[in-house]
Structure 1
Amino acid sequence: MLVYSQKSFLIVDDFTDFRTSVRSMLREMGIKDVDVAESGETALRMCAQKRYDFILHDFHMGDGKKNGQQVLEDLMLDKLISHEAIFLMVTAESSQAVVLSALEHEPDAYLTKPFNRLGLTQRLDKLVQRKTLLKPILQALDRGRPADVLLACDNLCKQDPRFAPLCLRYRADALAALNRHEDLERFLKAILANRPTPWAYAALGKLLFKRGQAGQAKEIYEQAIKTFAMMPGLYDGLAEVLASAGETKRAQSILEEAVRLSPLAVRRQMQLGKLALNNADFDSASKAYRQAVSQGQNSRFKDPESNLGLAQALISKNHGNGLDARTRVEINQVLGDVAKEYTDDQGLQVRARLIKATGLAQAGDAETAAKLTEAAIARLDNMDQFFSAETALAVASQLQQLGQASAGSALLKNCVEVYGDDPAVMKNIAKLTDDPSILGAGNEAVDLNRQGVRAYQAGQLADALGLFRRALGLQPKNISIALNTAQALLRLGGEKPPLALLEECRTCLGKVAGIPDSDPRYERYRKLQIRAVSV
């Protein structure tokens, strides 16, 4: 038996008797540093103040409280737990839903109640032996140095080639972190050729999809599911690929299977709700969004989009039939939560009011609906943040349905200015309007931007900047054009750009400061902003 006397333990369970029992087991093992917590919230506060070597956390912590899965998510995201630490998920339940949901977040082990001291000791001994062997790799992970992870893997394999299988996933994750995509693809294919594993399938599917090889990614996920039908993450990947290809009904079906396997995942339920809503399957959408709202109450992944989605699904589900009292109460509750919890988010406030106005109009209260709509439009006129393209189109459609054609057209014009260089966005805008003054508003700017990109790629920086400036003059809020202009200014200015170029760059970035952090270009914006300020 290994020696644990110098290790620190935290026991988290809502039952006093269980905490006392496990503490006694640990005392018998010679362990003196044992803390206990009766809730996940308390455990998180304790972990913020003290680093534990071992955490034994019950999965279910009572209604309205964070469960073990959610606590593990928070510990990892906030970096309150080391890779060298051991997290054991403990539960009396052995149902598929609970086990798969717990294992998806990869605790070090899953321990079923009841257990005795011998069983606990044997499980801990195996985990400690493994983590001790992997210590250099785990330390490199804690430092956030993927290159050191690869080196540590190499050293471990040289020490004993039999350890190579232990290093496979660490190597793959490190290659991904270093953006060594070609090396990663070869590595993953070699693993799958030798011994297929679900994580390698998932990693390869994700990589191929990221590199624009959606067809190959689809084949990989489908092959993986045939072999590992109980791995919900594989279904998530396939659903994403299918949805991107426009196969939204099949994507919904695939995601429904993932939810059947592992239902306690907020983001999966939310994505299912979104797909079902887009597929006009309002019954399935309301069920999924309802689960996302409920499960999200104590989760890091709580998202007001689930509340808005649920309200919209309920209204659409009852379109033409009015709204019964129970449905009105549920809509008011979920939208009220958004209004109370996100008071500083102008966009959410506008959207919540418009959805509520739609519901009121459907319920026959036209007067109150009109007042809410007017209030929402007033807020919309004063907004300094950007909607995502998807959200802007949804809001424009709502405005049209509420009889606010002018406000809807104004929002569509703004959407063209911000996102008009994206053909997919323009295609969706065309579904809402045939007004040539809206659809053609960004054509000249988009063409100039395209010419600027070609000049930039050819190394003709001055010409590129001139083209970007002209395009930005026509569409000052276009995200792509503003970022291209800022990048060209910084590149042309060299290591120490003249003050005039820096000021122009900052002005460009200021025009699109409202870019949502969900936009794929947000990271590029952030890096350019940092450089423009720090130079």
Structure 2
Amino acid sequence: MSPSAPADHELRLLLVDEQRSFHIMMKAMLFNVGISRIHYAYSADEARRLCLRDTFDVFLIDYDLGAGENGRQLLESLREKKLIPPHGVVMVVSGDASRAMVLSALELEPDEYLMKPFSQEQFKTRLRRALERKRNLLALFQALDRGDDATLLEECESGATQHPKYSNFCRCLQADTLIKLKRAQEARSLMRQLLAAQDNSWARQALGRACFDLGLFDEAISHLQACLRLTPLMVEAYHWLAESYLAQGRDDDAQAQLQQAVAISPQSVHLSRRLAEVSLKRGDYAVAKDVLLSLIDLTRNSIHRTPHYLGAYIQTLTLYALNSNDSYHIANLQKQVNNALSRLRDVMVGSDFNYPAFEQLCQARVQIARGELLKGKKMLYRANQNWLDAPENMPPTLLGETILGLYQLGEFEYADSLQGLLSDNEDQLLTTCIQVTRTDKTVLERRQRYQQLNELGIKAYQAGELEQALGHFREALRRAPANTGAALNKIQVLLQLIGKSHKNKDYDDECRTTISLLDGIPLNPAQNERYRKLRDEFTQLRH
């Protein structure tokens, strides 16, 4: 027997449960089935520390670990850090028999799932079954662990041939790997052969996924619907059905499928995230904000934790409030944002992430949404003052939040210039938020009218029609009161008019007021240089 697959009496087991009584009960049960090398942990942190120091063969993890990380989040963390060896058997246990809890546990694909209370015979049978599968398909799981797709395909073929009881598992994994390698046509043929012998929901799902990749959307929809008739709780089939509908432009149907999937499996991060993205693109901010709020809570202790969810939630709240035409939603925005910030503050402060700057950006966006444009603008620029000279060095999350704030503020040109710094592989939710904000009807209408007026002002100025140019810039600033470029253009025209009209007091006062709007704001280098020159010119004219 390979050293990677120890004999039963050599198995090292890690038991993770917050209750000492369960530890005592399981110790007796484990001794009775021949396992004596047992290590105990009462929390996810303690379990992770043990795994960093030692290697285990069996992981018995309770889903509910009390405050902090739950069993699902611990398992995701152990897998990400590759602390579960290829031969390792994972058994998840839970005392909660609700559908949401069961599906959440099964979504992680543990080797076995047990409901409390369970008998010694049940445990023994499930453990033996899981160990047998890992031992018989050890080379397959080793290739999967290494990410060696070529060997994995060979081992799937070998496993399906040599171990008929695992044939469906091996064939479906083979199809998934072929799809990953952009060989969807081979996956389609393989699954059709499998289904010719016997209908199977996993094969139906894999076939639907292969058809989706091949652009055969009607066929994909047909197979995925058949899959759901066989197994109505197969949530991943809803996901690919939604993707197929999206590919056909049936966005309403896609959102409905994702909502159904999330209702069935509310603990699924990737399904909730996809629902948020689709809802945002459809402009359904009511659904998007609720889903994003649940994502913040769902991921706060997991490897999926990201400030992008909080940033997207705040932006969605803002878009919802702006499009509702209801002053209540604008007035309530500060309270909702403060509550959301408090949910993540304790887990983000002290990490490598610059939480203080992020929080300041979020608060700036609230002030802008409430109409406190000058206050919000100062907060936004000050949060970024360390990167104004080199915005390419700004952390991606802060860059995204800044771009959102700038579009909301009406600093359209500056926002466009920064958006080019976002990498192509940046967080999809972040880029979706930015795109939705750019194309939101209230933002777009304001931007289009502002740009039209600003361009008319520039043309009038170049033609020497200063009074007309001033009128256009005034109106442009009415549309986008915090736009730095339009303010600088207006100052430039006023300086020309002051020079021609021998220090007209009205122009003088208006110029001074406009200059004061930019005073104390740490502008970017190009804006700051132009502002400094215009301010100095105004000072000279006054003397």
For normalisation by structure 1, the TM-score amounts to: 0.69
Match 2:8 to one of 4, 7, 11: 4
Pairs aligned (count)? 427
Query: Which amino acid is the alignment partner of residue 25 of structure 2?
Result: S
What is aligned with 1:315? 318
> Which residue matches 1:333?
342
Higher mean displacement: 29-38 or 315-324 = 315-324
2:408 and 2:99 map into 1 onto residues whose CA distance is: 44
Distance (Å, rounded) in 1 between the aligned partners of 2:347 and 2:18: 30
Where does residue 41 of structure 1 map in the other structure? Answer: 45
- Please state whether the residue corresponding to 2:121 is helix, strand or coil: helix
- 2:255 and 2:20 map into 1 onto residues whose CA distance is 43
Bigger mean CA offset, 332-341 vs 161-170: 332-341
> How far has the Cα of 1:80 moved from its partner?
1.4
Q: 1:318 to 1:67 in 2, by over 3 A?
A: same
Say if 2:369 is the partner of 1:362. yes
Q: CA deviation at 1:302?
A: 1.4
Which residue does the alignment assign to 2:280? 277
Output one character per residue of 1:408-456: Cα deviation in whole Å (capped at 9) or x when no partner: 45457x489999xxxx9999978856679xxxxxxxxxxxxxxxxxxxx
Taking the aligned partners of 2:61 and 2:79, their CA distance within structure 1 comes to: 14
Pick from 28, 32, 35 the counterpart of residue 28 of structure 1: 32
The alpha carbon displacement at 1:85 in A equals: 1.6
Tell me the alpha carbon deviations over residues 240-271 of structure 1, each in whole angstroms, 9 at most, x when there is no partner.
Answer: 33345543333222111111101012232222
Q: What residue in structure 1 maps to residue 84 of structure 2?
A: 81
Classify the secondary structure of the residue corresponding to 1:123.
Answer: helix
Q: Which residue of 2 aligns with 1:183?
A: 186
Q: For residue 375 of structure 1, what is the aligned residue in structure 2?
A: 382
- More moved, 199-208 vs 41-50: 199-208
Q: 2:160 & 2:195 partners in 1: Cα distance?
A: 19
Question: Cα 1:302–1:205, aligned 2, differ >3 Å: closer, same or farther?
Answer: farther
State how far apart, in whole Å, the 1-side matches of 2:283 and 2:135 are. 53
Distance 1:375 1:201, change over 3 A: farther
1:377 Cα shift? Answer: 6.6
Q: TM-score, normalised by structure 2?
A: 0.68
Q: Which amino acid aligns with 1:52?
A: F
Give the aligned partner of residue 499 of structure 2.
none
In the TM superposition, 1:4-403 aligns within 5 A as 4-63=8-67, 65-156=68-159, 159=162, 164-176=167-179, 178-319=181-322, 320-321=326-327, 322-324=330-332, 326-333=335-342, 340=349, 353=360, 355-363=362-370, 365-375=372-382, 378=385, 379=387, 382-384=390-392, 398-403=405-410
Q: Distance in 1 between matches of 2:160 and 2:275?
A: 42
Query: Quick one: which amino acid aligns to residue 329 of structure 1?
Result: N
Q: Which moved more, 1:332-341 or 1:271-280?
A: 332-341
Query: SS of the counterpart of 1:318?
Result: helix
User: What is the Cα deviation at residue 98 of structure 1?
Assistant: 0.1
Change (3 A) 1:329 1:344: closer
C-alpha change, 1:66 and 1:405, in structure 2 (3 Å) is closer
Alpha-carbon shift at residue 22 of structure 1 (Å): 0.1
Q: Per-residue CA shift, 1:291-310, capped at 9, x if unaligned?
A: 11111111111122110121
- SS of equivalent to 2:27: helix
Which secondary structure state, in structure 1, belongs to the residue aligned with residue 8 of structure 2?
coil
Point out where structure 2 has 5 or more consecutive residues left out of the alignment.
1-5, 426-431, 453-543
1:63-122 deviation line (CA, Å, top 9, x unaligned): 2x2211112222222221123221111011110000011001111111111123222112
CA contact (8 A) 1:57 1:89 kept: yes
Deviation at 1:40, TM superposition (A): 1.6
Q: Specify whether residues 226 and 157 from structure 1 end up closer, same or farther in structure 2 by C-alpha distance, changes over 3 A only.
A: closer
Larger radius of gyration: 2
Shift in Å at residue 58 of structure 1? 0.2
What amino acid sits opposite 2:335 in the alignment?
R
Q: Tell me the residue number matched to 1:483.
A: none
Deviations 1:34-87 (A, max 9, x none): 111101222122222222111110001112x22111122222222211232211
Query: Aligned pair in 2 of structure 1 residues 230, 139: CA closer, same or farther (>3 Å)?
Result: same
- Contact persistence 1:239–1:254 (CA under 8 A): yes
Give distance in 1, aligned partners of 2:48 and 2:415.
Answer: 46
Task: Work out which structure has the larger RCO, using CA pairs closer than 8 Å and 6 or more positions apart in sequence.
Answer: 2
CA displacement at 1:380 relative to structure 2: 5.7
| TM-fit CA distance, 1:123 | 1.9
Within the alignment, does 1:404 sit opposite 2:408 as a pair?
no
Decide whether aligned partners of structure 1 residues 304 and 189 sit closer, same or farther in structure 2, where only a CA change above 3 A counts: farther
- Could you report, residue by residue, the CA deviation over 1:465-521 in whole angstroms, capped at 9, with x for unpaired residues? xxxxxxxxxxxxxxxxxxxxxxxxxxxxxxxxxxxxxxxxxxxxxxxxxxxxxxxxx
SS of residue in 2 equivalent to 1:139? helix
- Residues 336, 90 of structure 1: CA spacing in aligned structure 2 closer, same or farther, 3 A cutoff? closer
C-alpha displacement of 1:166: 4.7
Read off the aligned partner of 1:56 and give its amino acid letter: L
Alignment partners' CA distance in 1, 2:63 and 2:276: 25
Report the Cα offset of residue 336 of structure 1: 6.1
Structure 1 residue 198: Cα displacement: 3.1
Residue aligned with 2:392, SS? coil
- CA gap of 1:157–1:168, structure 2 versus 1, over 3 A, is closer
1:524 maps to which residue? Answer: none
Instruction: Decide whether the 8 Å contact of 1:332 with 1:356 is kept in 2.
Output: no
SS at structure 1 position matched to 2:110 = coil
Question: Structure 1 residues 124 and 395 mapped into 2: Cα distance closer, same or farther (>3 Å)?
Answer: same
Counterpart of 1:454 in structure 2 is none
C-alpha contact (below 8 Å) 1:146/1:174 kept by paired residues: yes
Per-residue CA distance 1:207-253 (angstroms, 9 max, x = gap):
33334444443443333333322111111222233345543333222
Residues in 1 aligned to 2:74 and 2:436: alpha-carbon distance in whole angstroms: 42
Q: Residues 278 and 32 from structure 1, CA distance in 2 versus in 1: closer, same or farther, beyond 3 angstroms?
A: same
Preserved CA contact (<8 Å) 2:184 2:211: no
Give the 3 Å change call, closer, same or farther, for CA 352–204 of structure 1 in structure 2: farther
Distance (Å, rounded) in 1 between the aligned partners of 2:361 and 2:404: 11
